Amino acid sequence: MQDPLEGVSTFVQVVEAGGFTAAAKRLGVTRSAVGKAVARLEARLGSRLLQRNTRTQTLTAEGQIYYERCTRALKELDAAEADLDSGRMEPIGRLRVSVPEGFGQLCVAPILLNLTRLYPQLSIDLSFGDRTVDLIEEGFDLAIRIGPLQDSGTLSARLLGTQHISIGASPAYLARHGTPGKLEELDGHAVISYSHSGVVAPWNVSPVAGRGGSSDYRLQVHSQISMDDIQAIAAAAVAGYGIAWVPCWLLSSYAKRGELVHILPDYRARSYEIHALWPQARQLRCKLRVAIDALVAEIPALLNPEDAVHSR
């Protein structure tokens, strides 16, 4: 007996993604496989669902009616699976996650990968990049984002913690040029700055609570080197090119190996909230709940600026 659902979800993905190529990317298959699946569905139904040309695909009148009914049916199936999943003790299936490159590699990936050891039926698909993905359009279950969130009525969010930016330099650089003890002493030092689209970001510095006074400072640093990648900035600081501001979780990883020293520990140069985001749903799937709980439990310790090794 032929499966009545064969090709249905692929057809729906083609419509919602806007084409065969985009649907193939969502599904993780080739464009040819998507085209063949839809062709088999049309042959089984005896109706043309999509009108194709070299660039676009549009729904036929029959295709529009069939698409609307298919989406309703798939939503019912998804709800039925969610009801079954709500009583599940262990997560199963694939979890597709979008993470920022540096933070994702160093902090998020180890936490999520460890879940595959705890739950053999769970698979993790991580996508690294600083581009803001469309979770629903691109088929992601979860995304980690650093910085202000854009309002969205289709996404849920959970605060994971606050990323603080700390100031550091290599022991070799400090041995040659001295260790600044005050903000004013940064003047005259080589500074490695973060830049975006050619614009160098100023250092907005705030005192740590109970230390460093009460005033906020906006430092206009003059740097010979500027980059738009925090990992490259940290690597340049390790190589002794100057003082840099980098996220404390990154500074801490270098400080533990003795490659960078956290200087001016009474001050932080800017902070950003980090959130987990996922498409709104009637019930949170077990695999998603387990991942979010693990991140909530472990990320805050990685973001604690006191984990960085201070200058001695």
d(CA 11, CA 50): 9
Rounded CA-CA distance 56/294 in Å is: 42
93-159+274-303 and 164-271: identical CATH topology: yes
Higher pLDDT, 193 or 296: 296
Residues 86, 92, 93, 94, CA torsion sign: positive
Q: In this model, does residue 137 exceed pLDDT 90? A: no
Supply φ then ψ for residue 295, to 5 degrees.
-65, -45
Q: How confident is the model at residue 213 (pLDDT cuts 50, 70, 90)?
A: low
**Domain range 93-159+274-303, CATH class:** alpha beta
Residue 179 has pLDDT above 80, yes or no: yes
Confidence grade of residue 260 (pLDDT, cut at 50, 70, 90): very high
Query: Is 284 strand, coil or helix?
Result: coil
Q: Which residues of 131-148 are buried (b: 16+ CB within 10 A; e: fewer)?
A: eeeebeeebbbbbbbbee
Residue bearing tokens 């029959």? 62
* CATH class of domain segment(s) 164-271: alpha beta
Question: What pLDDT shows up at residue 85?
Answer: 58
Dump pLDDT digits (tens) for 36-74.
Answer: 999 998 999 999 999 887 667 789 999 999 999 988 888
Supply the pLDDT for residue 306. 54
Better-scored residue on pLDDT, 172 or 279 = 172
Query: What's the pLDDT at 115?
Result: 96
Identify which of 194-203, 228-237, 263-272 has the greatest average pLDDT. 228-237
In the chain, the percentage of residues whose pLDDT exceeds 70 is 88
Domain edges within the chain: 8-86, 93-159+274-303, 164-271
Q: What is the mean pLDDT of residues 99-113?
A: 94
Which of 19-28, 211-220, 275-284, 295-304 is predicted with the least confidence, judged by mean pLDDT?
211-220
pTM of the model: 0.69
Cβ contacts of 306 within 8 Å, gap of 6 or more: none
CATH topology of domain 8-86: Arc Repressor Mutant, subunit A (1.10.10)
The interaxial angle of helices 286-303 and 109-118, nearest 10 deg, is 140
pLDDT value at position 282?
A: 64
Question: Would you say residue 143 has pLDDT above 50?
Answer: yes
